[in-house]
C-alpha cells in the first residue's frame, strides 16, 4: 500500500493558497481589483480559508480597513494625544524648579489687619539673574534677563495702590541689568494688575557692592579682581621668582575651592581671611545703606507704611545677611531669589524672611557701628 493511498498520510500536494495569499486575494476581490495572473496558487480561495485562520494574524478590522493592525494602533495613539509644540530655550530643564523655589511662599494678611506689626518700609533684596560669567564684570544672559523681568512682574502683583517703590542696585553690570529688567517687569505688571504705584529708575549705590578683596591697587570686587589675579599668577610662574604675596595666596585658594567643586562662599563665611572683606562688615554695610535710604523718606510719608525698596545685589553679602539674621547658613541664593526685610516703626527692629523662615532682628543704629581699627 503506497503512502498516497493511506487515509492518514500527510498530503503534500496542496491546491489551496497559503493564508497570507488567501487574505490578499480576498481583499482584492472585496475591493474589486483584478486577480493576479494565474499560477499554481491562483485557484479560487475556498470559503473557509480565512475563517479557519488565526484571527490574530489578520489585519482587517470590523470596519473593513486593510491597514495593518500595528499601524492603526500607532495612529490611534497619535490621535489620542495631540502633539504640543515644544519651545526650546536655554534653561528649559530647571526653569520650573527655579520658579517653584524662588516664588514667595509667605502668606501675608491684608494691610488693615497688619497694623499691629507697624511696618514702615519693606525691603526686597534680590540676587542678580544668570550672568555670562564671573571672570569679568559681565552682564546677564537672555535667561537672566527673563528671570529679572519675571521677578519684577511678581513684585508688582503684591504692591498696593499708593505704594512708592525705590529701585537701587550694586554698581556692577549684572546688578544694573537686573535692576533695569526688574523695572521693566514691574512696569508691565503694574499695567496688567491695574495698580497705581510710583517706581523710580534704577540707581546704583555703593553700600550694595559685592564683598571685596584687598589688592595692591586697593579694595576691589572679588569678581573684578580675578583678572588681576590671573595676570599676576602668570607673571610669577613665568619669572619663577620667590614666594607669592599673601593676597594672591588667599584669592588663589578662593578660586581653586570653586574649581574643585566646593563652595567658596561657605569658606568665606566660616574661615577668616586676612585680605577679604569680613562677612560682618558686609551686613553692616547693607544696614548702613538701607538706613540711609529710609532716612531720606519724609516722616509723614514713612508713617503711612507704603514705601518699598528693591535692591539688586550679589549672593555673597546676601548669604552673610541671611546667616546673621537666622543664625545659620541657609545656603546660596538662587538667581533673583529674594530676602524680604520689613522695617518696623522706630527702626530698631525688623522682620527678615528667607526660604520660609521669619526672624525678628534688632537693627543697630547708625551711630553704633564700631570702628575696629580706630
pLDDT of amino acid 41: 44
User: Residue 1 contacts by C-beta under 8 Å, 6 or more apart in sequence?
Assistant: none
d(CA 351, CA 222): 29
Provide the pLDDT confidence category of residue 107 given band limits of 50, 70 and 90.
low
User: Residue 31 contacts by C-beta under 8 Å, 6 or more apart in sequence?
Assistant: 66
Is it the case that residue 346 has pLDDT exceeding 60?
yes
pLDDT tens-digit series, residues 169-188: 999 999 999 999 999 999 99
Provide the pLDDT confidence category of residue 97 given band limits of 50, 70 and 90.
low
Is it the case that residue 213 has pLDDT exceeding 50?
yes
pLDDT of amino acid 50: 44
CB 175 within 8 A of CB 314: yes
d(CA 330, CA 315): 12
Nearest to 310 by CA among 170, 136, 161, 139: 170
Structural domains of the chain, with CATH: 15-55 (no CATH), 118-211+277-368 (3.40.50.1240), 212-270 (no CATH)
The answer to pTM > 0.75 is: no
Stretch 207-224: mean pLDDT: 86
pLDDT of amino acid 232: 74
Sign, CA dihedral 17-22-24-28, equals: positive
pLDDT tens-digit series, residues 47-91: 444 444 444 444 444 454 578 887 887 777 766 555 555 555 555
Stretch 283-309: mean pLDDT: 93
pLDDT of amino acid 83: 52
Q: Measured in Å, how far apart are the chain's first and last C-alpha atoms?
A: 129
Unique residue bearing C-alpha cell 522695617: 343
pLDDT tens-digit series, residues 244-294: 788 888 888 888 887 888 899 999 999 999 989 999 999 999 999 999 999
Provide the pLDDT confidence category of residue 18 given band limits of 50, 70 and 90.
low
Is it the case that residue 42 has pLDDT exceeding 60?
no
Provide the pLDDT confidence category of residue 328 given band limits of 50, 70 and 90.
very high
Q: Which residue has the higher pLDDT, 193 or 333?
A: 333
pLDDT of amino acid 186: 96
pLDDT of amino acid 167: 98
CB 189 within 8 A of CB 223: no
pLDDT of amino acid 15: 53
184 CB neighbour count, 10 Å cutoff: 15
Q: Which residue has the higher pLDDT, 52 or 333?
A: 333
Whole-number mean pLDDT of the chain? 80
Residue 131 per-residue DSSP state: B
Stretch 86-100: mean pLDDT: 59
Amino acid at each position: 500500500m503506497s503512502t498516497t493511498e493511506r487515509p492518514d498520510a500527510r498530503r503534500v500536494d496542496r491546491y489551496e493558497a497559503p493564508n497570507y495569499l488567501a487574505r490578499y486575494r480576498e481583499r482584492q476581490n472585496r475591493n474589486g481589483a483584478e486577480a493576479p495572473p494565474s499560477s499554481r496558487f491562483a485557484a479560487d480561495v475556498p470559503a473557509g480559508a480565512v475563517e479557519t485562520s488565526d484571527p490574530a494574524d489578520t489585519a482587517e478590522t470590523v470596519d473593513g480597513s486593510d491597514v495593518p493592525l500595528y499601524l492603526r494602533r500607532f495612529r490611534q495613539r497619535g490621535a489620542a494625544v495631540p502633539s504640543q509644540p515644544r519651545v526650546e530655550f536655554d534653561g528649559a530643564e530647571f526653569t520650573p524648579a527655579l520658579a517653584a523655589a524662588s516664588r514667595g511662599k509667605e502668606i501675608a494678611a491684608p494691610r488693615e489687619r497688619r497694623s499691629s506689626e507697624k511696618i514702615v518700609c519693606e525691603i526686597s533684596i534680590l540676587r542678580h539673574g544668570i550672568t555670562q560669567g564671573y571672570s569679568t564684570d559681565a552682564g546677564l544672559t537672555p535667561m537672566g534677563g527673563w528671570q529679572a523681568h519675571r521677578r519684577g512682574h511678581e513684585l508688582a502683583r503684591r504692591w498696593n495702590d499708593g505704594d512708592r517703590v525705590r529701585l537701587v542696585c550694586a554698581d556692577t553690570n549684572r546688578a544694573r541689568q537686573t535692576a533695569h529688567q526688574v523695572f521693566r517687569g514691574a512696569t508691565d505688571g503694574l499695567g496688567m494688575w491695574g495698580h497705581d504705584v510710583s517706581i523710580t529708575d534704577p540707581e546704583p549705590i555703593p553700600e550694595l557692592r559685592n564683598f571685596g578683596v584687598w589688592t595692591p591697587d586697593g579694595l576691589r570686587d572679588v569678581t573684578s579682581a580675578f583678572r588681576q589675579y590671573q595676570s599676576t599668577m602668570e607673571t610669577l610662574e613665568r619669572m619663577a621668582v620667590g614666594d607669592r604675596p599673601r593676597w594672591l595666596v588667599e584669592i588663589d585658594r578662593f578660586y581653586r575651592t570653586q574649581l574643585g567643586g566646593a563652595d567658596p562662599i561657605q569658606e568665606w563665611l566660616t574661615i577668616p581671611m586676612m585680605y577679604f572683606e569680613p562677612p560682618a562688615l558686609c551686613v553692616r554695610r547693607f544696614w548702613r545703606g538701607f538706613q540711609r535710604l529710609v532716612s531720606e523718606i519724609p516722616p509723614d510719608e514713612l508713617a503711612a507704611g507704603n514705601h518699598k525698596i528693591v535692591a539688586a545685589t550679589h549672593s555673597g553679602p546676601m548669604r552673610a545677611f541671611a546667616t546673621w539674621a537666622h543664625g545659620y547658613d541657609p545656603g546660596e541664593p538662587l538667581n533673583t531669589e529674594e530676602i524680604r526685610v520689613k522695617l518696623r516703626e522706630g527702626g530698631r527692629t525688623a522682620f527678615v524672611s528667607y526660604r520660609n523662615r521669619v526672624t525678628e532682628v534688632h537693627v543697630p543704629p547708625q551711630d553704633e557701628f564700631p570702628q575696629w581699627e580706630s
